[in-house]
Chains A and B, each alone.
Chain A
Amino acid sequence: MALTKADLATALFDEVGLNKREAREFIDNYFEAIRRSLEQGDSVKLSGYGNFQLRDKKTRPGRNPKTGEEIPIKARRVVTFKPGQKLRNRVESYVGSGDQ
């Protein structure tokens, strides 16, 4: 089972005391604020968790894997996530269940 926006909203209801509507709206606004910052070209630094950074990729040759046809992959901007040291330390000792 994956953690979803509904689980995060439940946590704000239980732990912060927001009502259900406020909690849902807060979660939506939270992810929207991060998307908007990245959309405007501004990276996002959440200390203790990690940084969302932007990388500009150049055009490079690609291929349609089905037809083998050569098609250039256009220049584009992509988001990368660099986990912070605190988060890295917390996950590195996880003993895998083999399904990751």
Chain B
Amino acid sequence: MTKSELIERLAEQSHLPIADVELSVRTILEIMSSALADGERIEIRGFGSFSLHHRKPRIGRNPKTGESVALPAKFVPHFKPGKELRDRVNDGAKNPGA
């Protein structure tokens, strides 16, 4: 499912104009991205939580030239699925089409 398919599905199940559905989806993603950019956790019960994980600085290599490059420490986004999502995804695998 892509973002535009998600927008279509949400538009089908609401009485909102499509423009409001589009803007709502964009707003949700922007608020979530900017929370993470500010180092804030996101906790959605039944879905999961997003947080930042720290990556230590390391010496990387340019795969083409073999040259060493110093890579600074950074943060990367991390998602931990919540119990309801974990259970439903696993049950869905056991009973496809259910």
Contact = CB atoms under 8 A, between A and B. Distances in A.
Interface of A: 1-5, 7-8, 11-12, 15-18, 22, 25-27, 29-31, 33-35, 37-50, 52, 54, 56, 76-81, 83, 86-88, 90-94, 96-97, 100
B47 A100 contact: no
Interface in B26-71: 27-29, 31-54
A97 B9 CA distance: 39
Contact of B41 (A3, A17, A34, A44): A3
A29 to B, nearest CB: 6
Given A7-B31, A41-B96, A2 B76 contact: no
Nearest to B79: A81
Contacts of B91: 39
Interface residues of B, number: 58
A6 B50 CA distance: 16
B14 to A, nearest CB: 7
B39 to A, nearest CB: 5
Contacts of A37: 1, 6
By secondary structure, the A interface counts as mixed
A26 B24 contact: yes
A38 B85 contact: yes
A30 B1 CA distance: 13
A78 B81 contact: yes
A79 B31 contact: no
A31 B37 CA distance: 21
A98 to B, nearest CB: 10
A8 B28 contact: yes
Contact of A88 (B76, B88, B89): B76
